[in-house]
Protein backbone atom coordinates (compact mmCIF):
# COMPACT_ATOMS: atom_id res chain seq x y z
CA UNK A 1 0.00 0.00 0.00
CA UNK A 2 1.28 3.47 -0.92
CA UNK A 3 1.64 6.61 1.12
CA UNK A 4 -1.55 8.20 2.47
CA UNK A 5 -2.40 11.67 1.16
CA UNK A 6 -3.36 14.04 3.96
CA UNK A 7 -5.91 16.71 3.05
CA UNK A 8 -6.72 19.46 5.53
CA UNK A 9 -10.17 21.04 5.13
CA UNK A 10 -11.02 24.29 6.90
CA UNK A 11 -14.66 24.22 8.02
CA UNK A 12 -16.99 26.68 9.69
CA UNK A 13 -20.60 26.96 10.76
CA UNK A 14 -23.44 28.43 8.76
CA UNK A 15 -24.11 32.09 9.54
CA UNK A 16 -27.74 31.54 8.56
CA UNK A 17 -28.48 28.27 10.34
CA UNK A 18 -25.85 28.40 13.10
CA UNK A 19 -24.33 25.41 14.88
CA UNK A 20 -24.07 22.58 14.17
CA UNK A 21 -24.86 23.24 10.53
CA UNK A 22 -21.84 23.55 8.23
CA UNK A 23 -21.58 26.58 5.99
CA UNK A 24 -22.45 26.18 2.32
CA UNK A 25 -18.78 26.72 1.48
CA UNK A 26 -17.49 24.17 4.01
CA UNK A 27 -19.96 21.55 2.89
CA UNK A 28 -19.07 22.25 -0.75
CA UNK A 29 -15.34 21.95 -0.05
CA UNK A 30 -15.90 18.61 1.69
CA UNK A 31 -18.18 17.22 -1.02
CA UNK A 32 -15.80 18.34 -3.79
CA UNK A 33 -12.89 16.65 -2.00
CA UNK A 34 -14.83 13.40 -1.67
CA UNK A 35 -16.22 13.41 -5.22
CA UNK A 36 -13.19 14.69 -7.14
CA UNK A 37 -10.17 13.55 -5.15
CA UNK A 38 -11.02 10.67 -2.82
CA UNK A 39 -13.65 9.00 -5.01
CA UNK A 40 -13.58 5.27 -4.20
CA UNK A 41 -9.98 5.20 -3.02
CA UNK A 42 -10.82 5.88 0.64
CA UNK A 43 -7.81 4.11 2.15
CA UNK A 44 -5.37 6.37 0.26
CA UNK A 45 -6.53 9.52 2.05
CA UNK A 46 -6.74 10.98 5.52
CA UNK A 47 -9.02 14.02 5.85
CA UNK A 48 -8.10 16.54 8.54
CA UNK A 49 -10.89 18.92 9.58
CA UNK A 50 -9.98 22.19 11.27
CA UNK A 51 -12.60 24.50 12.75
CA UNK A 52 -11.41 27.91 13.97
CA UNK A 53 -13.50 29.69 16.57
CA UNK A 54 -13.25 33.46 16.48
CA UNK A 55 -13.30 35.09 19.93
CA UNK A 56 -15.42 38.21 20.19
CA UNK A 57 -14.51 41.25 22.28
CA UNK A 58 -16.36 41.78 25.53
CA UNK A 59 -17.51 38.19 26.00
CA UNK A 60 -16.98 36.01 29.01
CA UNK A 61 -14.30 33.68 27.59
CA UNK A 62 -14.75 31.03 30.26
CA UNK A 63 -18.43 30.54 29.40
CA UNK A 64 -17.89 31.14 25.67
CA UNK A 65 -15.25 28.46 25.37
CA UNK A 66 -17.42 25.76 26.89
CA UNK A 67 -20.53 26.72 24.89
CA UNK A 68 -18.73 27.24 21.58
CA UNK A 69 -16.51 24.20 22.01
CA UNK A 70 -19.67 22.10 22.29
CA UNK A 71 -21.03 23.79 19.17
CA UNK A 72 -17.73 23.36 17.35
CA UNK A 73 -17.67 19.71 18.33
CA UNK A 74 -21.14 19.21 16.85
CA UNK A 75 -20.04 20.93 13.66
CA UNK A 76 -17.03 18.63 13.34
CA UNK A 77 -19.19 15.60 14.10
CA UNK A 78 -21.11 16.31 10.89
CA UNK A 79 -17.94 15.84 8.80
CA UNK A 80 -16.53 12.96 10.88
CA UNK A 81 -19.84 11.07 10.61
CA UNK A 82 -19.88 11.57 6.82
CA UNK A 83 -16.32 10.22 6.60
CA UNK A 84 -17.23 7.23 8.78
CA UNK A 85 -20.21 6.45 6.52
CA UNK A 86 -17.97 6.12 3.47
CA UNK A 87 -14.90 4.75 5.25
CA UNK A 88 -12.46 7.65 4.86
CA UNK A 89 -10.02 7.96 7.77
CA UNK A 90 -10.20 11.39 9.37
CA UNK A 91 -9.30 13.57 12.32
CA UNK A 92 -10.90 16.81 13.52
CA UNK A 93 -9.97 19.55 15.97
CA UNK A 94 -10.85 23.07 17.09
CA UNK A 95 -8.53 26.05 17.51
CA UNK A 96 -9.30 29.61 18.59
CA UNK A 97 -8.17 32.83 16.94
CA UNK A 98 -8.07 34.61 13.60
CA UNK A 99 -8.96 31.95 10.99
CA UNK A 100 -6.32 33.20 8.53
CA UNK A 101 -3.48 32.94 11.03
CA UNK A 102 -4.68 29.77 12.73
CA UNK A 103 -5.06 27.89 9.44
CA UNK A 104 -1.54 28.89 8.34
CA UNK A 105 -0.11 27.88 11.72
CA UNK A 106 -1.86 24.52 11.55
CA UNK A 107 -0.60 23.95 7.99
CA UNK A 108 2.95 24.54 9.28
CA UNK A 109 2.37 22.22 12.24
CA UNK A 110 0.49 19.39 10.49
CA UNK A 111 2.11 19.64 7.02
CA UNK A 112 -0.83 18.37 4.93
CA UNK A 113 -0.34 17.49 1.28
CA UNK A 114 -3.24 19.77 0.32
CA UNK A 115 -5.40 22.43 1.99
CA UNK A 116 -9.01 22.72 0.81
CA UNK A 117 -11.10 25.74 1.77
CA UNK A 118 -14.49 26.95 0.66
CA UNK A 119 -14.94 30.32 -0.99
CA UNK A 120 -18.03 32.48 -0.46
CA UNK A 121 -17.63 34.47 -3.68
CA UNK A 122 -17.54 37.94 -2.14
CA UNK A 123 -17.37 40.94 -4.42
CA UNK A 124 -14.47 43.43 -4.26
CA UNK A 125 -16.36 45.82 -1.97
CA UNK A 126 -17.26 43.08 0.53
CA UNK A 127 -13.72 41.66 0.48
CA UNK A 128 -12.37 44.96 1.83
CA UNK A 129 -14.60 44.79 4.91
CA UNK A 130 -14.95 41.06 5.46
CA UNK A 131 -11.66 39.75 4.06
CA UNK A 132 -11.31 36.33 2.57
CA UNK A 133 -9.71 33.46 4.38
CA UNK A 134 -9.44 31.43 1.18
CA UNK A 135 -7.52 34.13 -0.69
CA UNK A 136 -5.14 34.64 2.23
CA UNK A 137 -4.52 30.89 2.46
CA UNK A 138 -3.70 30.33 -1.20
CA UNK A 139 -1.28 33.26 -1.09
CA UNK A 140 0.54 32.25 2.09
CA UNK A 141 0.10 28.54 2.91
CA UNK A 142 3.13 26.28 2.72
CA UNK A 143 1.26 23.63 0.74
CA UNK A 144 -0.95 23.54 -2.35
CA UNK A 145 -4.35 25.14 -1.73
CA UNK A 146 -7.61 24.38 -3.49
CA UNK A 147 -10.42 26.92 -3.10
CA UNK A 148 -13.89 25.63 -3.87
CA UNK A 149 -16.54 28.12 -4.95
CA UNK A 150 -20.10 27.39 -4.01
CA UNK A 151 -22.62 26.69 -6.75
CA UNK A 152 -24.53 29.68 -8.08
CA UNK A 153 -27.84 28.14 -7.00
CA UNK A 154 -26.55 27.89 -3.40
CA UNK A 155 -25.60 31.54 -3.07
CA UNK A 156 -27.75 33.45 -0.55
CA UNK A 157 -28.98 36.95 -1.37
CA UNK A 158 -26.12 38.37 0.67
CA UNK A 159 -22.92 36.42 -0.09
CA UNK A 160 -21.66 37.13 3.44
CA UNK A 161 -24.40 34.72 4.62
CA UNK A 162 -23.13 31.21 4.24
- Asked if residue 95 is part of any domain, the answer here is yes
- Asked if residue 65 is part of any domain, the answer here is yes
Residue 129 has pLDDT above 70, yes or no: no
CA-CA distance, 111 to 126, in Å (whole number)? Answer: 31
Q: Which residue has the higher pLDDT, 71 or 148?
A: 148
- Asked if residue 160 is part of any domain, the answer here is no
| pLDDT for 98 | 92
CA-CA distance, 162 to 159, in Å (whole number)? Answer: 7
Pairing of strands 13-14, 145-149: unpaired
- Asked if residue 154 is part of any domain, the answer here is no
Q: What is the mean pLDDT of the chain?
A: 82
Residue 57: how many CB atoms within 10 A of its CB? 4
What's the pTM value of the predicted model, to 2 decimals? Answer: 0.83
pLDDT class of 16 with cuts at 50, 70, 90: confident
Q: Which domain holds residue 97?
A: 5-149
Q: Could you tell me where the beta strands, DSSP code E, fall in 58-100? A: 90-96
Residue 39 has pLDDT above 90, yes or no: yes
pLDDT class of 128 with cuts at 50, 70, 90: very low
The residue-averaged pLDDT of 50-54 equals 92
CATH number at residue 46: 3.40.50.620
- Asked if residue 158 is part of any domain, the answer here is no
Residue 157 has pLDDT above 80, yes or no: no
Cα 67 → chain centroid: 20
pLDDT in tens, 53-112: 987 655 554 555 555 556 688 899 999 999 999 999 999 999 999 999 999 999 999 999
- Asked if residue 44 is part of any domain, the answer here is yes
- Asked if residue 162 is part of any domain, the answer here is no
| pLDDT for 64 | 52
- Asked if residue 60 is part of any domain, the answer here is yes
| pLDDT for 125 | 42
Number of domains in the chain: 1
Max CA-CA distance within the chain? 52
Nearest to 95 by CA among 45, 50, 30, 46: 50
Pairing of strands 13-14, 90-96: unpaired
Amino acid sequence: MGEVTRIMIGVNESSLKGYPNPSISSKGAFEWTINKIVRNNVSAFNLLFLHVQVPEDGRDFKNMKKKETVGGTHLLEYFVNKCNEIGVPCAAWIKEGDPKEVILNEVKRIRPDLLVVGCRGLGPFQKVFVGTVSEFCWKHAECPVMTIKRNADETPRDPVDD
